[in-house]
Amino acid sequence: MPHADSIAVLLIAHGSRRAEANADLVRVAEAIRARNEYSIVEFAYLELAEPTIPQAARRCVARGATRVLLLPYFLSAGSHVTNDLERFRTEFAEAHAPVEFRLCPPLGLHPVLIDALLDRLGEGESPTGG
């Protein structure tokens, strides 16, 4: 099993033409970095913004990753996750052997996400909300 220093996290979002929407992923990456659980944390966008997924994957490898965890910042396992990201995972594994690329599940029905949704609902109910 690789040492934690050689495991990279590659956060992947869809990407937007709106810079402020793309900035959310940057802030998520910064928050994960601040936890100091992974020494390599990169982010990428499927389309409409940079860095692209291949650019960020190459950066992970260049930084010494022996395993790259592709983490979809998507709510469900739609076609982007099941088709596009799996295709990238396969291509990267072939191009960067022996580096291991693993595709993590999307955010989905994680219990913490349900808590976050309930928090947002509460914000909408407050006098200053929505």
For the annotated catalytic residues, the residue numbers are 14
The answer to whether 32 and 11 are in contact (CB under 8 A) is: yes
**CA 56 distance to own-chain centroid:** 11
Given phi > 0 = left and psi -120 to 50 = alpha, else beta, which region is 64?
left
Secondary structure class of 51 (helix, strand, coil): coil
